[in-house]
């Protein structure tokens, strides 16, 4: 991969962080958590909060963990994908297991999105102005999230109600220059009545705060000043709450099943380039359809990220991100694949592969 692409993408990371003000609400803060965990969700256009019921539910709707059958026991999930033509790496590892009360579940998930091998050019020039490539050093800019999840069913007179929540710890690191720690809460519900499934998720329920600290040497600060770059100061970045509503319905014809789902993401951090854009609320819909044969073979398709892009003639065109994928279940092993376009018209398609493994508990004699 051409390393020249890494610096522009890194700069996008760097300046989207907390650089200018001591405390403020940053639009698109912690956006790496909205990329999506699991190839199934990616193939469905991220419209899964109503029918998700595996280990990846921690990242989408923690209530979905309680929808897993108790006989599934321990479930482990892993995923790897590459973004921006391989410049960015997105990885996930998680597990969930039932408590003594088998209807209740806990989950632990670790997410990383990073750009590696970024050349540090701050020390490229010697004091006499000559270029010394031996001074080049590489570093990584990476975002990490640890999700601690809990879910359980709630008794109701009709239907099936599940509730769940996350405690999440955010760590962001930009080489040796900057680090941030953040904490937040998520909460979600799922309700099933017959073939209908409804859901709601609030992420960053009380707002998520990332506290940034920066570490530049005197020489690096001098280079930043000479190149008209702002020297960042310690600051706090705030991620405002966002609400997602979802509805899905199951259709069954002999061994063939069909499950469409429509999700609506409502952000509260100001006007965004979405299908319905206003201030402070913006609305971004997502639609996905999953077909399966006897819960063994799955075909999936989805669309999301509707945006209006202005072309060179000044005309606005509606763009979207399409995706599709397949899945296969063999005993307790699930393998899913998704093929998706970030929707920026640059043909930077991404291949996503994820695995799920069920480890069933031994039956007591």
Confidence (pLDDT) at 4: 42
Confidence (pLDDT) at 53: 93
Confidence (pLDDT) at 62: 96
Q: Could you tell me the end-to-end alpha-carbon distance of the chain, in angstroms, rounded to an integer?
A: 56
- pLDDT, one tens digit per residue, over 113-160 is 998 877 777 666 666 667 766 667 778 889 999 999 999 999 888 889
Within 13 Å and on the Cβ side, how many CA atoms surround 202? Answer: 11
Confidence (pLDDT) at 363: 62
Which domains are present in the chain?
3-359 (2.40.160.60)
Buried b (16+ CB within 10 A) or exposed e, 210-222: bbbebebeeebee
Confidence (pLDDT) at 13: 41
Confidence (pLDDT) at 7: 42
E-strand stretches of the chain: 23-25, 74-83, 88-98, 105-120, 137-154, 160-174, 178-193, 196-203, 208-214, 235-239, 242-249, 251-253, 256-267, 276-277, 282-293, 297-310, 316-330, 333-340, 350-359
DSSP per residue over 10-45, as a string? HHHHHHTSS-S-SEEEPTTTTGGGGS-SSHHHHHTT
Buried b (16+ CB within 10 A) or exposed e, 41-62: bbbbbbbbbbbbbbbbbbbbbb
Point out the residues of the chain with pLDDT beneath 70: 1-28, 85, 122-129, 132-135, 219-220, 222-223, 226, 228, 231-233, 342-348, 361-365
- pLDDT, one tens digit per residue, over 153-182 is 998 888 899 999 999 999 998 888 888 899
CA distances from 361 to 53, 97, 291, 356 (A): 19, 10, 30, 16
């Amino acid at each position: 991969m051409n390393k020249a692409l890494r610096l522009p993408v890194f700069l996008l990371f760097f300046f989207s962080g907390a650089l200018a003000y001591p405390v403020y609400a940053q639009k698109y803060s912690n956006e790496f958590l909205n990329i999506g965990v699991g190839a199934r969700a990616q193939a469905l256009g991220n419209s899964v909060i109503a029918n998700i019921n595996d280990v990846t539910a921690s990242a989408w709707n923690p209530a979905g963990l309680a929808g897993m059958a108790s006989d599934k026991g321990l479930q482990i999930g892993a995923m790897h994908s590459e973004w921006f033509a391989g410049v960015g790496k997105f990885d996930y590892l998680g597990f969930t297991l039932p408590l003594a009360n088998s209807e209740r579940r806990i989950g632990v998930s670790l997410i990383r999105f990073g750009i590696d091998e970024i050349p540090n050019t701050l020390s490229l020039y010697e004091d006499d102005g000559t270029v010394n490539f031996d001074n080049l050093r590489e570093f990584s800019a990476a975002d990490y999230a640890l999700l601690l999840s809990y879910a359980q069913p709630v008794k109701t007179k009709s239907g099936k109600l599940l509730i769940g929540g996350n405690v999440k710890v955010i760590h962001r690191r930009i080489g040796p220059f900057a680090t941030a720690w953040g904490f937040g809460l998520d909460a979600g519900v799922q309700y099933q009545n017959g073939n209908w499934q409804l859901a709601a998720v609030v992420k960053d329920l009380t707002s998520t705060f990332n506290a940034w600290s920066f570490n530049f040497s005197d020489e690096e600060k001098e280079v930043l000043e000479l190149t008209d770059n702002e020297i960042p100061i310690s600051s706090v970045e705030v991620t405002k709450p966002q609400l997602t509503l979802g509805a899905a319905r199951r259709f069954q014809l002999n061994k063939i099943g069909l499950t469409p789902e429509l999700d609506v993401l409502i952000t509260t951090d100001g006007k965004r380039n979405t299908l319905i854009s206003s201030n402070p609320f913006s609305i971004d819909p997502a639609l996905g359809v999953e077909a399966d044969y006897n819960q063994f073979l799955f075909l999936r398709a989805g669309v999301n990220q509707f945006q209006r892009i202005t072309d060179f003639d000044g005309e606005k065109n509606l763009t979207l991100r399409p995706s599709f994928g397949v899945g296969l279940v063999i005993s307790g092993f699930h393998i899913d694949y998704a093929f998706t376009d970030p929707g920026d018209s640059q043909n930077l398609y991404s291949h996503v592969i994820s695995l799920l493994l069920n480890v069933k508990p031994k039956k007591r004699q």
